[in-house]
Amino acid sequence: MRRLGAGFIVALVALCAGVATWMWHSYDAPGPLAAPATVVIPKSARLAAIAEELAAAGVVAHPWVFAAGSYVTGAARNLKAGEYEFAAATSPRAAAALIASGRVVQHRLTLAEGLTSAEAVALIDAAPALDGALETTPPEGSLLPDTYFYVLGTKRWELIARMEHARDRALAEAWQRRAADLPYASPRDALVIASIIEKETAVPAERARIAGVFIQRLRLGMRLQADPTVIYALTDGGRTPLPHPLGHDDLETESPYNTYLEKGLPPTPIDNPGLASIEAALAPEESGDLYFVADGAGHHVFAKTLDEQNHHVAELRRLQHGESGAE
């Protein structure tokens, strides 16, 4: 009987040692995940619940191996809530290390240059990892175009606040470096011009020259005559699409944004300009140009006089119709 008892104990110890060895090997062994997967660890989740989440997502084969191994190694004390991306074949030990590190998934949202605030809100509203609803549309021109990173559950208004803070900082810094004797009463005036530049050209080398045209017109008391301001009025600030190509009749639209009818600056920016356009508005290339026209290939042709402008327009029309020659 004593021999049987001693044998039983030896066998039990051997079994426990075998199980422990297997568990330890399994804790370090590659997991069953065949492709990267994202798992959200809820706040206040206990170790057992985290293990079950990982098992349900296919990250670990045996939740108790993850739980036991994390407990023994001490990783269980540091596990943090959040959204984590696990690589294929992640071992339970590596999974615990990732969750303990707090290296959560970083989402990104790119606010392109020239979007109106209404378009920016639509983009932010459509981002599924953000949380909460926006109650108001931020003022036009108050957001700085850039790529913003955020984590799951970030409030939409928090992201808007970051964009506004970035715009404030960028505009203030550019204002400090501005050229002398610009016809701006405040940084906001420069922002309005920058928003028009943003819509007029996508060519970096043209921004400062176009800024120079608008600066010269402001100094002479001429109307800006900028098509994008009319388009802004016709589309309700980017909320509706332009129903047709801009025509001569549209230039008679009654609106404080119609710079063909109204002198000076529009009442607000017409979009959210990027840093390059802001800097162009504050460091214009003053070449004496008063006019420019699109050449149909993404660039513009500039002119100092109306006669020169009319000549360019006529020449470009001939080219568009496949004609050749010059006046």
All CATH 3.30.1490.480 domain ranges of the chain, comma separated, are: 28-101
pLDDT value at residue 297: 80
Distance CA 117, CA 97 (A): 41
Give the tens place of pLDDT for each residue, 186-240. 999 999 999 999 999 999 999 999 999 999 999 999 999 999 999 999 999 989 9
- Rounded to an integer, the average pLDDT of 45-64 is 96
pLDDT value at residue 9: 55
**Residue 154, SS3?**
coil
* 8-22, 92-106, 117-131, 230-244: range with lowest mean pLDDT: 8-22
Please check whether residue 270 is in contact with residue 229, taking contact to mean a CB–CB distance below 8 angstroms: yes
User: Residue 320 pLDDT more than 50?
Assistant: yes
pLDDT value at residue 323: 53
User: Residue 159 pLDDT more than 80?
Assistant: yes
* 22-26, 37-41, 56-60, 144-148: range with lowest mean pLDDT: 22-26
Please check whether residue 125 is in contact with residue 134, taking contact to mean a CB–CB distance below 8 angstroms: yes
Q: 86: which strand partners?
A: 37
CATH of 28-101 among 3.40.50.720, 3.30.1360.30, 2.40.10.10, 3.30.1490.480: 3.30.1490.480
127 CB burial (10 A radius; 0-12, 13-18, 19+): middle
Please check whether residue 291 is in contact with residue 226, taking contact to mean a CB–CB distance below 8 angstroms: no
| Residue that wins the pLDDT comparison between 298 and 190 | 190
pLDDT value at residue 177: 96
Give the tens place of pLDDT for each residue, 2-24. 555 655 454 445 445 555 565 67
Closest CA to 166 of 272, 34, 11: 272
User: Residue 324 pLDDT more than 50?
Assistant: no
pTM attached to this predicted model: 0.85
Structure-token pair, residue 72: 């023994």
Which band of pLDDT confidence, cut at 50, 70 and 90, is reported for residue 326?
A: very low
Q: 292: which strand partners?
A: 302
Query: CA 213 → CA 31, 192, 210, 287, 310, distances in Å?
Result: 64, 14, 5, 8, 16
DSSP readout, 263-321? -S--SS-SS---HHHHHHHHS-------EEEE-SSS-EEEESSHHHHHHHHHHHHHHHT
Please check whether residue 146 is in contact with residue 166, taking contact to mean a CB–CB distance below 8 angstroms: yes
Give the tens place of pLDDT for each residue, 239-276. 999 988 898 899 999 999 999 999 999 999 999 999 99
152 CB-near residues (< 8 Å, 6+ apart): 40, 82, 83, 104, 105, 107, 129
Mean pLDDT over each residue of the chain, to the nearest integer:
91
- Angle made by CA atoms 28, 80, 156, in degrees to the nearest 5: 130
Helix locations, the chain, DSSP H: 2-28, 47-56, 63-73, 92-101, 117-125, 156-176, 187-200, 207-220, 227-234, 275-282, 306-320
Question: Which amino acid does the sequence have at 185?
Answer: A
